[in-house]
Amino acid sequence: MTLTDTDKPKTSGASKPAVFVDGASGTTGLGIQERLDALGEVAVKHIAEDKRKDAGAKRALMEEVDLVILCLPDDAAKETVAVIDTMGNSAPKVLDASTAYRVAPDWAYGFPELAPDQTDKIKVAPKVSNPGCYPTGAIALLRPIVDAGLLPADYPVTINAVSGYSGGGKSMIASFEDGTAPAFHLYGLGFEHKHVPEMQLYSHLTRRPLFVPSVGNYRQGMLVSVPLQLDALPGKPSGADLQGALAKRYAGSKYVAAMPLQNEAAKGGRIEPEALNETNQLELYVFASDKHRQAVMVARLDNLGKGASGAAVQNMRLMLGLADT
């Protein structure tokens, strides 16, 4: 078996954690690899191309590393996890970027900002599921206001979202880049989008939310929005109440920022999706009208950053004791 190690320790006598990115040629995997190369904190192990589908070679490599990051389709991720489950004390920690385990009770959910104790859960977990891009924005908006009692758990929530086409896989990327895709389209109109269970569970909603995703003709960047009729909510909260719940939850957060309230006095009344591209940042906004008693909560993020590769590296660092929060 031919293995290569592309990242040698830079400090004499220092030992770096070893990581294997399984599926490094995909969009998320490439993004993770770029971030790992820039950080230089881990030794990234690779399997030779001619051994990539060799189950024995892959198992041997996984026995050598501290953590495996899976950037695979759901079924392939499940197959690899099944192998890891047979490895006993030689098993590495695993971080899965697919949707296969995002609502599994024995996996830690990889959104450190979800709750005050979530970071500690990720640090000690042998298995962590990396969140979806849309759920990252939706949960970040909804969980704090549900926990604060501003939004009932059974409220009929609607979540609208638009993403750049890079989140749609190789065929979608190709169709936009060769000009055959439409400039914009809604999808998920069969009401079975795979991110909905994740959104519902971690937002603490008891009623299934209505989710309407869309794709625009730009490469990356995402907006996730939740419209609310304020007078239809118990207690009739104000936009300031919503913003205050977000600000309280994410106070001191490294990557998630509750932005100042955007009310009638705020100029512009618009937001674009690409401002946080190439970062792991997530911005949360409340646009509110006291006059009309309406609000729209908006999350802005890079669907390839905090929505995928950036979040994976953040979780990896926590799992390996490299102290990211």
Residue 212 burial (C-beta neighbours within 10 Å; 0-12, 13-18, 19+):
middle
Exposure letters 25-63 (e unless 16+ CB within 10 A, then b): ebbbbbbbbebbeeeebbbbbbbeeebeeeeebbeebbe
Query: Do 303 and 220 form a contact (C-beta atoms < 8 A)?
Result: yes
Query: Do 261 and 183 form a contact (C-beta atoms < 8 A)?
Result: no
CA atoms of 142 and 150, how far apart (whole Å): 10
Query: Hey, what are 190's tokens?
Result: 């069969």
Q: Which member of 44, 133, 246, 301 is catalytic?
A: 133
Residue 133 known to be catalytic: yes
Query: Hey, what are 209's tokens?
Result: 């939310």
Q: How far is CA 250 from the centre of its chain?
A: 16
The phi-psi region of residue 293 (left if phi > 0; otherwise alpha if psi is between -120 and 50; otherwise beta) is: left
Looking at the chain, the number of H-run helices and the number of E-run strands are 9, 14
Active site residue ranges: 133
